[in-house]
Amino acid sequence: MNRIVAKEFLSENVAKLIVEAPRISQKQNPGQFVIVRIDEKGERIPLTIADADPEKGTITLIIQRIGTSSHKIINLNPGDALRDVSGPLGRPTHIDKVGTVLACGGGVGIAPLYPIARAYKKAGNRLIAVLGARNRELLILEKEMAAFADETVVMTDDGSYGKKGVITVGIEEVLQREPVHLAVAIGPAVMMKFVALLTKRYNVPTIASLNTIMVDGTGMCGACRVSVAGRTRFVCVDGPEFDAHEIDYDEMIKRLNMYKTEEKTSYDAYLRSLS
C-alpha cells in the first residue's frame, strides 16, 4: 500500500499526486516510470515519475482523467492509498551535455518531460522548452518549466494563451533560428510523430518517450511492443525512450486503441457506479 500525501489539480482533468514510495524515490532517475494498481480489481498501468523527494520518500505522479483507472486515481484523496506501486521501471534517460536541447511537451506529456528537461539543464545544456496544449486551461507545469529553462515557448491550439498554433509551429521557429543539438518529444503519439517528421528535416537527433499499454512492466508480456527501425522492441525494458525518427507511430497508435471498446464499457460501468 502506498499512501497519498497530497493532491492538487493542475487543470480540470489533470491531477498531481504525491505518493509515499520510499525505495522508488531513492532509486528513480528521469525518464523512468512506475506500474500502479489502484485496488484489488484494478489493472496495472504505467505512470511516469514526474518528480521525487528521496528525503521525504515520495514520488510525484501526474494523471489525466481518461478512463476507469485514471478516474479512480484522480478520485483518491490524501490519506487514501494505491494498492500497489512498483518501480522504478524502464531505462533512465541518458543525460549528457550536448549543447542546446529542445524539450517538446504536449498536453499531459509535459509531466514526464519536466524531470528530463531539468536534468539536461543541470548537465549544462541550453534548454528551450516548447509546450503545447489545446487551450490555456489544459496547460500544465509552465511555471515549473520556466523556472529553469533558458526560454519557454507556449503554443495553444485556440490561441487562448501563448502563441496560436500546434506545437510544431513553435518548434520550427526555434529550429530556423538557432542550432539545436537534441530534441526530446513527449506527448500524444500523433504529436510525437509530427515532431519527429519535423526534426528529421532539420537533422536534429530526437528522442521520444512512449507510454504504451503494459501489464507487468518488466518485459514479461510484450503488450507494450513497438517497431523501432523495423525491429520489435519492448517499451518497458528497452525503452521508454527511443530514437524518435525510427518509431512506427502508426502501428503504435493502432495498438494504443486495442481496447477502445472495452475501455468504454468499463468506463460507462464505472461512471454508473458513481452516480
Q: Applying CB under 8 A, which residues contact another protein?
A: 23-24, 27, 37-38, 41-44, 68-69, 83-89, 215-216, 218-223, 225-227, 232, 237, 251, 254-255, 257-259, 262-263, 265-266, 269
Q: Is the dihedral of CA 180, 182, 183, 184 positive or negative?
A: negative
- Least distance to another protein from the beta carbon of 15, Å? 19
Find the shortest distance in angstroms from Cβ 84 to another protein. Answer: 4
- What are the cell numbers at 128? 528551450
Q: How far is the CB of 100 from another protein (least distance, A)?
A: 32
Minimum distance from residue 231 beta carbon to another protein (Å):
8
| Positive/negative CA dihedral, 23, 25, 28, 33 | positive
Of residues 161 and 267, the one with the C-beta less far from another protein: 267
Whether residue 88 has a cis bond before it, omega within 30° of 0: yes
- Residue 61: CB atoms within 10 A of its CB come to 25
Query: Smaller CB distance to another protein: residue 140 or 252?
Result: 252
3-state secondary structure of 232: strand
Contact 206, 180 (CB under 8 A): no
Sheet holding 126-133, edge to edge: 163-164, 151-156, 126-133, 100-106, 182-186, 206-209, 241-243
Q: State which H helix or E strand residue 97 sits in.
A: none
Whose Cβ is closer to another protein: residue 8's or residue 262's? 262
Name 40's Cβ contacts closer than 8 Å, sequence gap at least 6.
Answer: 83
166 versus 253: smaller Cβ distance to another protein: 253
Q: Give the nearest distance from C-beta 23 to another protein in angstroms.
A: 5
Q: How far is the CB of 131 from another protein (least distance, A)?
A: 30
Give min distance, CB of 110 to another protein, in A. Answer: 25
Residue 118 Cβ vs another protein, minimum distance, rounded to whole Å: 22
Interhelix angle 167-177/189-201, rounded to 10 degrees, is 20
Considering beta carbons, is residue 13 or 266 the nearer one to another protein? 266
Between 47 and 167, whose beta carbon lies closer to another protein? 47
And the C-alpha cell for 268? Answer: 460507462
Nearer to another protein, 173 or 216 (CB): 216
For residues 123 and 271, which CB has a smaller minimum distance to another protein in the complex?
271
CA separation for the pair 76, 251 (Å, rounded): 34
User: Quick one: which of 155, 57, 162 has its CA closest to 106?
Assistant: 155
